[in-house]
Amino acid sequence: MHVKTVGPKRYRAVYGRYLEDFEVGAVYEHSPGRTITETDNIHFSLLTMNQHPMHCDAEFSGKSQFGKPLVNSTLTLAVVVGLSVNDISGKAIANLGWKEINLTAPVFAGDTLYAESEVLDVRESRSDNTRGIVTVRTRGSKQDGTEVVSFVRSALVPKRGYGVGD
């Protein structure tokens, strides 16, 4: 979390970044990580109507090559996106899209996910000079360093002085 000085010996946590704060090539290591529980997996799978037995049937998944339930891959994606919000889209007006989503290793209950994002592109909006588009590649890994997901995401971000609450 970033900090803004608001007075002598007084600081305020700042959520998100403005367009001017991004630089191509910068890498943000998102913190903290998030440990995924069996309850997270079951609730997310049922909430999203994904009742595949690999996610919610220990007997079925126990006979698979993994020997236990897999964490729903869209939960993995959602958590890794969430880990990146404070640094990448905390001030965003809108997410514009995700692409090149790659799921590269399984995640199981008990794994802790970590994420980092590299800024690929920053440009001013062609239709409104008070905002711009930031594009990042985010990588999620688990506690042993194994990459489990990567994707490219773009967000519409205001310039300083044009965000909500500015």
In a domain, 10, yes or no: no
What global pTM score does this model have? 0.91
In a domain, 6, yes or no: no
CATH of the domain at 107: 3.10.129.10
In a domain, 11, yes or no: no
How would you write the pLDDT of the chain (166 residues) with one tens digit per residue? 666 777 888 887 778 999 999 999 999 999 999 999 999 999 999 999 999 999 999 999 999 999 999 999 999 999 999 999 999 999 999 999 999 999 999 999 999 999 999 999 999 999 999 999 999 999 999 999 999 999 999 999 999 998 886 6
In a domain, 145, yes or no: yes
Looking at the structure of the chain, the number of domains it has is: 1
In a domain, 134, yes or no: yes
In a domain, 1, yes or no: no
Residues 6+ apart with CB under 8 A from 91: 15, 16, 17, 18, 157, 158, 163, 164
In a domain, 54, yes or no: yes
Residues 6+ apart with CB under 8 A from 153: 81, 84, 88, 89, 95, 97, 98, 99, 135, 136, 138
36: domain range?
Answer: 19-158
